[in-house]
């Protein structure tokens, strides 16, 4: 256990030293500032229009109707971008977790010490998981609290939404660690991004299948979401970010928006994703044990 924690600590330090992570953090700060500034301008414009019309605005009760819907959709889209940035961070920070050390010739010196290959994989996974989870949690809090400070809008159940997003981030981290034990760093990054795209494609296919009453497309979409449940997790998270008014709008549209879900996340999806992440981590340990260095 001590070796796992030691390697996790080294992974944390490595992630902080990478220029890529530093650049991503700077760009993230610019994104939050830019997005919240846009929310501020939007709210000012909506308030001005509401006051001119004498509708949809009550300083004591907050925004209602289409005015509130605009703010709610802006918050949801902001969290979607947070999820994308978190996914990007998960892959880019972890892509060389094992393969990078192998390619640099460092791995031989690590495993020549009293450190098992399983401890190397678990320590790498733990360290990068901490980095990615903390990053996404802080980014989510900054965006949601910023929207609340500017507009007064609070998502109904933001904690559940953020937890689902974090679960997706952990799954991506596990998949990237597994790929790092099997492939080169470049191939691993490409492969995980393709899987991420597969999940998004599954959501699109399901939406088209429902609108066109085509069960085959719905089945293909569900299969893709099972293989890569990251998009399904987002749809579940988006449900908990919607106000009742916005949720009714989405239900009336019969799920025509592939970026927003109109149903709560099922317990089966959460359990499957958690099991999937653990299974992938176990496979990473087994694969690295058999890998010839």
Structure tokens of 126?
A: 């733990």
pLDDT for position 84: 92
- Please list the residues that pair with 62 across neighbouring strands: 58
Total length of the chain: 293
Digits of tens for pLDDT over the chain (293 positions)? Answer: 677 877 887 777 776 666 666 777 788 889 889 988 988 888 777 777 766 665 555 544 444 444 566 777 888 889 999 999 899 889 988 888 888 777 776 666 666 667 788 888 998 899 999 989 999 999 999 999 998 888 888 888 999 999 999 999 999 999 999 999 999 888 999 999 999 988 888 878 887 777 777 788 888 888 888 899 999 999 999 889 887 777 777 776 666 677 888 788 889 999 999 999 999 999 999 998 887 66
Domain boundaries, given as residue ranges, for the chain:
2-290
Distances (CA, A) of 152 to 139, 145, 172, 235: 19, 9, 33, 24
pLDDT for position 54: 59
φ, ψ (nearest 5 deg) of residue 63: -90, 150
In angstroms, rounded to a whole number, what is the distance separating the alpha carbons of residues 281 and 96? 15
φ, ψ (nearest 5 deg) of residue 184: -75, 165
183 and 98 Cβ atoms separated by less than 8 Å: no
pLDDT digits (tens, 9 = 90+) for 239-279: 898 877 777 777 766 666 778 887 888 899 999 999 999 99
């Amino acid at each position: 256990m001590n070796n796992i924690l030691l390697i996790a600590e080294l992974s944390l330090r490595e992630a902080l030293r990478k220029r890529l992570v530093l650049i991503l953090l700077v760009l993230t700060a610019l994104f939050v500032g830019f997005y919240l500034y846009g929310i501020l301008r939007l709210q000012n414009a909506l308030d001005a229009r509401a006051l001119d019309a004498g509708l949809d605005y009550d300083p004591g009760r907050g925004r209602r109707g289409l005015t509130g819907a605009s703010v709610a959709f802006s918050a949801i889209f902001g969290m979607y971008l947070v999820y994308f940035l978190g996914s990007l961070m998960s892959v880019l920070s972890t892509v060389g977790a094992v393969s990078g050390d192998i390619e640099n010739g460092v791995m031989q010196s690590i495993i020549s010490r009293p450190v098992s290959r399983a401890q190397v994989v678990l320590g790498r996974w733990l360290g990068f998981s901490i980095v990615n989870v903390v990053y996404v949690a802080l980014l989510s809090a900054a965006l949601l609290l910023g929207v609340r400070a500017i507009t007064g809008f609070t998502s109904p159940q933001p904690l559940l939404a953020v937890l689902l997003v974090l679960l997706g981030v952990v799954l991506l981290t596990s998949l990237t660690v597994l790929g790092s034990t099997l492939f080169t760093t470049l191939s691993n990054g490409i492969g995980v991004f393709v899987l991420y795209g597969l999940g998004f494609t599954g959501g699109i296919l399901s939406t088209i299948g429902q609108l066109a009453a085509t069960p085959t497309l719905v089945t293909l979409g569900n299969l893709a979401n099972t293989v890569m449940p990251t998009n399904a997790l987002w749809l579940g998270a988006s449900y908990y970010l919607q106000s009742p008014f916005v949720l009714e709008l989405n239900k009336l549209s019969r799920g025509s928006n592939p970026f927003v879900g109109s149903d709560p996340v099922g317990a089966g999806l959460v359990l499957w994703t958690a099991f999937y992440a653990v299974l992938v981590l176990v496979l990473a340990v087994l694969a690295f044990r058999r890998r010839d260095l």
